[in-house]
Amino acid sequence: MADLTPTPDRPGLHISKPSPSAPASAKAVCHCGASASATGDTQVATLVTGWNAHHGTAHGK
Does residue number 13 form part of the binding site for Zn ion (CB under 5 A)?
Answer: no
Does residue number 30 form part of the binding site for Zn ion (CB under 5 A)?
Answer: yes
Which of 32, 37, 50, 52 is the binder for Zn ion (CB under 5 A)? 32
Query: DSSP label at 45?
Result: H
Q: CA distances (Å), 23 to each of 16, 29, 55, in order?
A: 9, 20, 24
Residue 16 or 52: the one with the smaller Cβ distance to Zn ion is 52
Query: Which x/- pattern over 42-61 shows residues binding Zn ion (rule: CB under 5 A)?
Result: -------------x------
